[in-house]
Structure formats: structure tokens, C-alpha cells
């Protein structure tokens, strides 16, 4: 219903009183719960409810704004704040229940491990006790001014407490029964991955082992066997580009892995990999494993951006994370897909509802938490072959509510903590308080036969012992209609000796089986087989295939060209001629892969056909949850950015064409470089502009001399931000510290000047490095959601003491040269020839390049690239206005700009 006249006015008044979201699709408020806060609320609620604007639009669900916690939650549930964590106990990021129903929690840094005893029956919820647990392993890791190293995951199982940290996996026991942990055993040393280290631990579906999930910065330890054959590769047909911000540039597959671990910690098996930074795991009632993987927000707007997504983790699964532009699209036939793509965010805790006492309709839902947006979603699962698809809905949200971990307790209630990165930490409980609801007891068992088939094939993963019988059993299922069964069959075959199945590839006649058999052969066969493989793939009729099989065939061709010997020129020309008639196709995924492959082949018509496509291809915004994004500052910035983002499909086309030499006309060259120049003026993630510059420069570097001269007017440098044109504070200057600045906020923040705050955002050079409301620089974190995750003190610490806490995404390095000199900056790329460093935080396109033979060592720096003192030139009023601007997320209507 459109809001007009009196209703809009009433809604605005209510927003000022209870901070009701301004998205027009707000939750229903319970008048009895909030009437004591303001006498006008019951009247306003009645009028607004009459206008019909307080019912949530998604699925007919209704929500309640809890006045005590300011959490918006599904009606029938109640949120309680149980404990506000004092600074002396740190910022909690890990939690687990012990056998007595107590919580074991840990600070992310150096404050230690604590045991939380919850209130008993009949006692006030706030009557909890928190005690420090002594003796826990702690290996300090300097990280800016922070010292990290606290636990990142806990699990009570097998009469032990298991703990993961950035440096190790531990088993902790109480050996004498006095309720005190006294035995601390390191089971496996782990590599430091900072916030992309080892994370959560859960018990396996059979109750006999543990599962551990890690981020992509922690390498697989020594002595770990794998269900995947050890033939990992980048597998990028075109030369991959490193992340323009230097993120994760040196990390290779397998990365982002999950291990099954025996209770004694002696046997480790990697069961899946290819995640970016999945933090938690959950198992449904049918014994299937799931995780919630993170995106890289730097990539927003690029064709290789992968949103946060829920993944069904099957045996030997490969989920395709690779560094930079080499990330695999989820349709690659040699990878596994997603249950549901969620969108931007920062995944943390997950758990299935069957661990709760929530009503029946919640028992098979997966609850997933997001740190950035302060939201818990439910994912409603449906069977899809031997796997699942899912539908996401909101369960609760709050501001700030940076959820770091979540578990259901022995009492059936949900417990979650907020914290991380030294932010204020709290413990919450969610209970179902509504009327008894007897919904249908949904069980996902209709396709159990397909899952049983998949499991029977997965039994051959990780071992050659299956031999010929394993090949015989698996081979017919290479052509199965179900993607995950085909994957399981291929991996069963790949795990057996090559001699048992190599020649069977060339005698196969089923088109789909030929495709998947050749994918297996490209990964394991001798390089000299390229000619035979291309010939065999040539027998598959492209024109009669369904889309999935066409994409798989193109991937098989690509893997042949990547992994086997380079075919003779005549074979290259023949392959280009075979595929050229099908380009362009009717769908974008097929065009994506045909363009990639034909560009690699330097096909005579690929340039002209692709430029023609670029002229007509329509931009498509990713399917984000706009209602959720508009409710939060960071989400609003994403929406604003995406509204001005160019067509990511066209970026893929430009990326593919950058080294094509044949078939260009002068007009096509002009269109190509003009498009790139225009695209540099548009918005995306932090790495967006750097990737476009890299595509453009690579294309320039591969221009024939004659062509370069004809379009030279399009090849000049693109100007960076002119710092000299930024406004200056009025002053007088003040040498602000965190404590002296905090004195300004004793009486709250109100009546501030929006325009002056925006001016100070530029005057302090914040705009040069940080995105805010869809504009600004890229070398620092996006500040659009700063108020959602950080307190005023947290923000002041980040400004006044920038080296106090540095995210690994923005960490600089110190490069020591053999002549004794040092360089300090962000490593943008490093190869066998040179290392490129961005030393100017205000201009990451200005690179200092040094030959690797002149480099002595490269070490992560504990000094932030953000200069201190950016607010020193501001007076009291200017600093207050800047802080108000940051807290408002750029919203002029925010309460900080209202009179007291």
C-alpha cells in the first residue's frame, strides 16, 4: 500500500520514537510491549495498523519489534539480552554448550576463555555467572595493535572439549572429574589464516567423528589424506588476474577445506574444498552436511563475484574458490553448486531447527547468521534430485547486531553472541512464546533413494581399493540426470588407477558420458592425449545438447586446453571452426563459455561477434534482497553502487577479448576502449576499478603497433582523485585521542549538521580511501555499515589508532630488498618476475614494481596504511558532525540530525 498524507506523517513520527525502519514494509509492533516507552505509541500503532502498512510483505509473515533489545523478530518469538560482556572479557566469537548446559565462550584476542552458567528454572534470565577458565592454549599473534589468537571454534564431544584457533586444533579434558579442565593436547598444528583460519567444529552425522571447517587462508596441514584426488589446479583457460586490492593473491587450491577428524585427532581426511571463508557447519535430519560460505565484496559488479551461499557439502566436493578472476562459476561441470545464493554479507553461525523446541514447521529449516547485516535467516529446504534447493526468509534482525556465533541449547532455545574485531559483545536468547502450532511435520525423504545411490558411489572416494568393480559400478552413472550423482560417479572413477579406465573413455558412445569421462581424463591423463581427447569431444553433437550439457562440453574442451599438450595449429583452427557457428547462443552462460573458449583460440570472428553482443546485452542486477538491503546503511550503499554498475556480462566479454589479435576492425577497437574508459567511471566493489584498469592495460599491452597508433587517443591515463581539491576543516586543530574525543559524546549525539558532516568526510580524506553511500575510494573498508557493527568508541579507535586492528583484507606488507632498503604497502600481485606494491593509500593504481631477484623477504606489516591524525585538523563541532554523518549512513533523516 502506498503511504500518503496522514499515514506517512504518522509513520515518520513513529520512526522517531522507536526507530522503525523506513522501508515501507515494517514489522507489526505489539502495543502492550512498547506503550510504556511513549504515551503516543498506542494511538499511532492503531492508526498505522488501520492503514495496513505494518505487515511484512514476504510470505505473509508478521514481525514484532522487541522494545527491550530493539530486535525485529518473527511474531511468536521473543528475544532476550542475557549478558552484556565487559571490555575485560573481550569480544566473543566462539561458543559451545558443555554437558551441564553451560556455555564455553572465547574472546577473539587475548582476554581468554569463559564459562557461562545460565539462570535456572524460576530465576531471572539475567542471573547468570561468568567465570574465567584457566590454562587454555594461547599463542599470541600480533595483528596491528591487537594480539589475536583466541579460540574460533568449540565443541563438547567424546568426553572432551575440542577447540580450534588460528594456530592449532586441540583436545581439552577434565581428567579427574573436579569440573576443571586440566589436560590440553595439541592434535594438529594449523597455519595462521587470521579471520580466514580454522573455525567451527561439529559432530559427524554417524556420531563417530568430528568435522572442522576452515577459511581459505589456512593451508591443508601435513598428513591429511583427501577424498579428492590430489590434482588441484587453477584451471583458468584465460590468464587470470590477481585481485586488484592484493587480496589472497598467493593462495592456491585446495583452499577453504572441511576435514573429518577421528576423536583422538590422529586421522584427518579432507572431504571437500573450494570455499572462501565458511565459518560453520550443520547436518540435517537425513544426515546431509551443509555450510554457509562468504562472498568477496571487493568483486561486486564483476562477472566472477560469487554471493554468500548455502552449500550442500557432498563427498569430495569442489566448490570452485580460486584467487582473483579465476573463481569458478557454479555451473562448471567439475564443481558443485549452491542450495541458495543469499547475496552480500558475512556468514557466521548456522544450525538446523531440529535441535530446537521451535514448532514443527521450523524443524527442517536451516538457520543462518549474518555478521554484517545483523540478521538471522531461515532456509526452507526442498529436495532436488539427490541434493536440495532452498528459499531464504528473515527470522530476525537488529542494529547493531554483528552475530558471531549461534547454537541451540539443551533447553531447545536459540542462543547467539555478537562480537568480533573488538566490538562490544553480548549474549542473547531467542524463545518461542507463541501459541502451540501443529504444522505439517515435513521430512525430506522422497528422494532418499537417489541419495543412497550417491552415497554408494561416494564410498569409492579417497581410495584406489575399489579397483575395476568401482569403475564398473560408477561408469553408467556418468550420464545420470542428477548433477551430484554424476559428480560422485566421476570422482569414484578418478580415484581408481588410470589404466583401468583410460581407454574406456574413447570407446564410450553416450554424449553425456563422453563429456564427463573426458573431464576425468583431462585431470589425470598424459599430456600427449590432447589430440585424441579433442577428437573424441568432436563426436558430441553440440547442437542437440541441453544447456547444462553444452556448458559441460565447453568446460571439457577448456580443461583439455589447460591441462594437456597444446594442440597443433590445424587442430586449434578446426575447433574454432566447429564452435563458431553456435556463437552467439540464446543464453548468457553459453555465450560466456563460447566467448572464453573462442577468445583463447583467437577465432577470426570472435572480436566482431562479441563487440556486437556488447552493444545489445542488457545489464542485469544481481538478485539481492532489496527489502533487507534498504534497511541497512551498507546495503543501501550496495544498492546505490549496483544501480550505477555496468553490465557484468560485458565485463566478461571485455576480459575475454583482451588478448585476441585476429578479426578486429578499427571501429570495434574504438568501441572496446571507449567502453572500458566509460566503465571506469562507474561503481562496483573495491577491486572493481582495479580489474577494469588491468583488463584495459592488458589489452593495450597486446595491441599490434598499427592498431595502437589508430586508437592512441583512447589509451591515455585515467586521472585519480585530486586530493588538492578536497575541502579543509575550519579548525582550530586538536590533537584528538580516543579518550578526549569520547568526552564529546557523553550527552549523546543530536542536532548535528548533515552537510558539514559530509564535508568533513572529504576534509579528513576519508572519501579518498573508503566507500560511503556508493561513492569514494577503495583502499579501505566500506563505511556504509559502520554504525551497524561498531560503537562510537570503536570508530574513534579505528580513526585515532588505525594499527590497533587491521583486517587481513587490508593488511600491508613490508618488502625488504637485498640492498637493505624497505618498501611498505599492499602487495597487488607477485609472480616469478616481479612484485608490485601499492605504496600510496590514496592511489592504488600507482604501483611500485620490483624484480623478485632484488627482494630479500616479504612480511605482513603490523602498521596500517591508514595515516593517523586524519581528524586532528577538525574542531569539536566538525568532529561531532563527522561522527553523526558516519553513524547515519548518509541518511539526513537520522535521529542524530534531529533536535533533542
pLDDT at 794: 86
Mean pLDDT, rounded, for 62-84: 95
Please report which residue ranges of 810-895 form alpha helices under DSSP H: 876-888
Q: Is the peptide bond before 626 cis (omega within 30 degrees of 0)?
A: no
pLDDT at 634: 58
Instruction: Look up the pTM and report it.
Output: 0.81
pLDDT at 645: 66
Task: Give 188's strand partners.
Answer: 169
* Band of residue 200 on the pLDDT scale cut at 50, 70, 90: very high
Beta strands in 52-159 (DSSP E): 63-65, 71-74, 77-84, 92-97, 103-107, 113-117, 129-133, 141-143, 146-148, 153-157
Taking alpha carbons only, the member of 766, 762, 759, 763 closest to residue 780 is 766
Q: Which helix (H) or strand (E) holds 489?
A: helix 483-494
Region of poorest pLDDT, from 85-89, 646-650, 683-687:
683-687
Is the pLDDT score of 129 beyond 80?
yes
Is the pLDDT score of 69 beyond 80?
yes
Please state, in angstroms and rounded to a whole number, the distance separating the CA atoms of residues 693 and 847: 12
Residues composing the chain: 900
Taking alpha carbons only, the member of 602, 552, 496 closest to residue 238 is 602
Q: Which tens digits make up the pLDDT trace of 499-529?
A: 999 999 999 999 999 999 999 999 999 999 9
174 phi, psi to nearest 5 deg = -105, 100
Please state, in angstroms and rounded to a whole number, the distance separating the CA atoms of residues 505 and 490: 12
* Band of residue 256 on the pLDDT scale cut at 50, 70, 90: very high
Taking alpha carbons only, the member of 709, 702, 694, 679 closest to residue 614 is 679
Please report which residue ranges of 495-632 form alpha helices under DSSP H: 502-507, 511-524, 530-537, 547-563, 569-579, 588-600, 606-616, 626-630
Q: Which tens digits make up the pLDDT trace of 284-293?
A: 999 999 999 9
Please state, in angstroms and rounded to a whole number, the distance separating the CA atoms of residues 118 and 156: 17
Tell me which of 801 and 843 has the higher pLDDT: 801
Is the pLDDT score of 785 beyond 50?
yes
Burial class (CB in 10 A: 0-12, 13-18, 19+), 361: middle
* Band of residue 637 on the pLDDT scale cut at 50, 70, 90: low
Strand-strand pairing, 225-226 and 268-273:
parallel
* Nine-digit cell string for 820: 637493505
Please state, in angstroms and rounded to a whole number, the distance separating the CA atoms of residues 738 and 716: 44
CA torsion 306-307-313-316 (nearest 10°) is 10
Q: Which tens digits make up the pLDDT trace of 497-507?
A: 999 999 999 99
What per-residue string of b and e applies to 545-557 under the rule 16 or more CB within 10 Å gives b?
beeebbbbbbbbb
Dihedral sign, Cα of residue 476, residue 480, residue 482, residue 487: positive
What strands, in cross-sheet order, belong to the sheet with 308-313? Answer: 281-283, 289-293, 308-313, 340-343
Burial class (CB in 10 A: 0-12, 13-18, 19+), 172: buried
Q: Which tens digits make up the pLDDT trace of 810-841?
A: 788 899 999 999 998 888 777 778 888 888 87
Q: How far is CA 663 from the centre of its chain?
A: 39
Q: What SS3 string covers 698-732? A: HHHHCCCHHHHHHCHHHCCCCCCCCHHHCCCCCCC
pLDDT at 709: 63
Radius of gyration from C-alpha coordinates of the chain:
28
Tell me which of 779 and 727 has the higher pLDDT: 727
Q: Which tens digits make up the pLDDT trace of 321-348?
A: 999 999 999 999 999 999 999 998 999 9
Mean pLDDT of the chain: 88
- The answer to whether residues 65 and 29 touch, using CB atoms and an 8 Å cutoff, is yes
pLDDT at 685: 75
Please state, in angstroms and rounded to a whole number, the distance separating the CA atoms of residues 348 and 801: 27
Mean pLDDT, rounded, for 4-11: 40
Region of poorest pLDDT, from 8-22, 70-84, 182-196:
8-22
pLDDT at 712: 64
3-state SS of the chain: helix, strand, coil percent to 5? 35, 20, 45
* Band of residue 598 on the pLDDT scale cut at 50, 70, 90: very high
Cβ neighbours of 44 (radius 10 Å): 19
Mean pLDDT, rounded, for 666-693: 87
| Residue appearing with cell numbers 579501505 | 780
Please report which residue ranges of 294-386 form alpha helices under DSSP H: none
Amino acid at each position: 500500500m502506498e503511504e500518503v498524507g496522514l499515514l506517512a506523517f504518522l509513520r515518520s513520527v513513529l520512526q522517531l520514537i522507536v526507530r522503525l525502519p523506513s522501508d515501507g514494509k515494517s514489522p507489526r509492533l505489539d502495543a502492550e510491549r512498547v506503550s510504556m516507552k511513549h504515551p503516543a505509541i498506542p494511538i499511532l500503532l492503531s492508526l498505522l495498523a488501520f492503514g495496513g502498512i505494518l505487515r511484512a510483505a514476504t510470505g505473509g509473515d508478521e514481525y514484532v519489534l522487541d522494545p527491550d533489545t530493539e530486535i525485529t523478530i518473527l511474531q511468536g518469538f521473543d528475544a532476550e539480552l542475557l549478558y552484556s560482556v565487559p571490555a575485560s572479557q573481550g569480544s566473543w566469537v566462539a561458543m559451545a554448550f558443555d554437558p551441564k548446559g553451560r556455555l564455553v565462550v572465547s574472546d577473539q584476542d587475548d582476554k581468554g576463555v569463559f564459562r557461562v552458567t545460565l539462570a535456572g528454572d524460576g530465576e531471572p534470565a539475567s542471573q547468570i555467572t561468568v567465570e574465567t577458565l584457566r590454562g587454555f592454549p594461547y599463542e599470541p599473534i600480533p595483528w596491528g595493535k591487537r594480539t589475536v589468537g583466541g579460540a574460533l571454534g568449540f565443541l563438547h564431544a567424546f568426553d572432551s572439549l575440542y577447540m580450534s584457533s588460528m594456530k592449532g586444533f586441540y583436545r581439552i579434558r577434565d581428567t579427574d572429574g573436579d569440573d576443571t579442565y586440566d589436560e590440553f593436547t595439541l592434535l594438529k598444528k594449523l597455519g595462521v589464516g587470521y579471520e580466514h583460519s580454522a573455525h567451527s567444529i561439529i559432530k559427524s552425522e554417524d556420531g563417530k567423528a568430528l568435522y572442522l571447517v576452515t577459511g581459505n587462508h589456512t593451508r591443508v596441514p601435513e598428513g591429511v589424506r583427501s577424498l579428492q584426488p590430489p590434482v588441484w589446479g587453477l584451471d583458468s583457460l584465460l590468464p587470470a588476474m590477481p585481485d586488484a586490492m592484493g587480496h589472497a593473491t598467493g593462495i592456491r587450491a585446495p583452499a577453504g577445506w572441511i576435514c573429518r577428524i577421528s576423536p583422538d585427532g590422529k586421522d584427518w581426511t579432507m572431504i571437500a574444498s573450494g570455499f572462501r571463508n565458511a565459518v560453520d557447519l550443520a547436518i540435517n535430519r537425513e544426515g546431509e552436511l551443509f555450510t554457509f560460505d562468504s562472498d568477496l565484496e571487493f568483486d561486486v559488479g564483476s562477472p566472477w563475484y560469487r554471493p554468500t551461499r548455502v552449500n550442500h557439502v557432498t563427498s569430495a566436493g569442489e566448490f570452485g574458490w580460486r584467487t582473483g578472476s579465476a573463481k569458478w562459476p557454479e555451473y562448471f561441470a567439475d564443481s558443485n553448486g549452491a542450495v541458495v545464493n543469499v547475496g552480500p554479507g558475512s556468514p557466521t553461525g548456522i544450525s538446523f531447527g531440529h535441535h530446537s523446541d521451535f514448532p514443527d514447521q521450523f524443524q527442517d529449516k536451516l538457520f543462518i547468521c549474518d555478521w554484517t547485516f545483523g540478521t538471522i535467516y531461515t532456509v526452507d529446504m526442498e529436495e532436488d534430485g539427490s541434493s536440495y534447493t532452498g528459499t531464504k526468509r528473515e527470522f530476525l534482525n537488529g542494529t547493531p547486531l554483528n552475530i558471531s556465533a549461534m547454537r541451540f541449547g539443551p533447553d531447545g532455545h536459540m542462543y547467539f553472541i555478537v562480537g568480533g574485531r573488538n566490538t562490544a559483545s553480548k549474549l542473547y536468547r531467542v524463545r518461542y512464546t507463541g501459541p502451540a502450532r501443529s504444522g505439517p511435520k515435513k521430512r525430506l525423504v522422497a528422494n532418499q533413494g537417489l541419495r543412497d545411490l550417491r552415497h554408494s558411489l561416494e564410498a569409492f572416494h579417497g581410495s584406489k581399493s575399489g579397483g575395476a568393480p568401482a569403475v564398473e559400478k560408477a561408469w553408467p552413472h556418468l550420464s545420470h540426470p542428477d548433477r551430484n550423482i554424476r559428480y560422485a560417479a566421476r570422482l569414484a572413477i578418478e580415484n581408481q588407477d588410470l589404466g583401468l579406465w583410460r581407454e574406456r573413455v574413447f570407446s564410450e558412445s553416450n554424449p553425456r558420458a563422453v563429456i564427463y569421462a573426458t573431464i576425468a581424463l583431462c585431470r589425470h591423463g598424459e599430456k600427449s592425449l590432447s589430440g585424441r581427447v579433442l577428437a573424441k569431444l568432436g563426436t558430441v553433437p553440440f547442437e542437440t545438447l541441453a544447456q547444462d550439457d553444452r556448458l559441460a562440453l565447453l568446460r571439457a574442451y577448456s580443461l583439455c586446453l589447460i591441462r594437456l599438450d597444446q594442440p597443433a595449429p590445424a587442430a586449434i583452427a578446426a575447433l574454432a571452426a566447429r564452435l563458431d557457428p553456435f556463437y552467439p547462443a540464446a543464453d548468457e552462460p553459453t555465450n560466456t563459455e563460447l566467448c572464453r573458449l573462442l577468445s583463447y583460440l583467437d577465432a577470426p570472428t570472435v572480436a566482431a561477434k562479441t563487440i556486437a553482443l556488447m552493444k545489445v546485452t542488457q545489464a542485469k542486477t544481481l538478485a539481492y534482497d532489496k527489502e533487507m538491503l534498504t534497511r541497512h546503511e551498507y546495503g543501501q550503499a550496495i544498492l546505490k553502487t549496483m544501480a550505477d554498475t555496468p553490465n557484468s556480462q560485458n565485463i566478461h566479454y571485455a576480459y575475454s577479448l583482451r588478448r585476441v589479435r585476429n578479426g578486429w576492425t578499427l571501429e570495434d577497437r574504438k568501441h572496446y576502449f571507449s567502453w572500458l574508459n566509460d566503465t571506469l567511471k562507474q561503481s562496483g566493489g573495491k577491486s572493481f576499478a582495479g580489474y577494469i584498469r588491468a583488463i584495459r592495460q592488458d589489452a593495450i599491452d597486446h595491441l599490434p603497433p598499427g592498431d595502437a597508433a589508430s586508437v592512441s587517443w583512447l589509451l591515455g591515463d585515467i586521472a585519480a582523485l585530486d586530493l588538492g581539491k578536497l575541502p579543509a576543516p575550519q579548525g582550530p586543530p586538536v590533537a584528538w585521542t580516543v579518550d578526549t574525543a569520547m568526552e564529546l559524546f557523553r550527552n549523546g549525539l543530536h542536532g548535528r549538521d548533515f552537510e558539514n558532516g559530509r564535508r568533513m568526510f572529504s576534509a579528513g580524506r576519508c572519501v579518498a580511501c573508503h566507500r560511503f553511500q556508493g561513492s569514494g575510494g577503495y583502499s579501505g573498508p566500506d563505511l556504509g555499515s559502520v554504525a551497524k557493527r561498531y560503537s562510537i568508541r570503536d570508530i574513534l579507535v579505528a580513526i585515532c589508532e588505525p594499527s590497533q586492528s587491521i583486517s587481513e583484507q587490508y593488511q600491508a606488507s613490508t618488502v625488504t630488498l637485498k640492498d637493505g632498503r624497505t618498501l611498505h604497502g599492499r602487495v597487488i600481485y607477485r609472480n616469478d618476475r616481479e612484485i608490485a606494491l601499492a605504496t600510496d593509500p590514496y592511489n592504488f593504481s600507482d604501483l611500485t614494481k620490483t624484480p623478485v631477484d632484488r627482494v630479500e623477504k616479504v612480511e605482513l606489516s603490523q602498521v596500517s596504511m591508514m595515516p593517523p591524525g586524519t581528524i586532528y585538523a577538525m574542531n569539536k563541532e566538525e568532529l561531532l558532525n563527522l561522527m553523526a554523518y558516519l553513524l547515519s549512513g548518509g541518511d539526513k533523516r537520522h535521529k542524530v540530525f534531529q533536535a533533542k
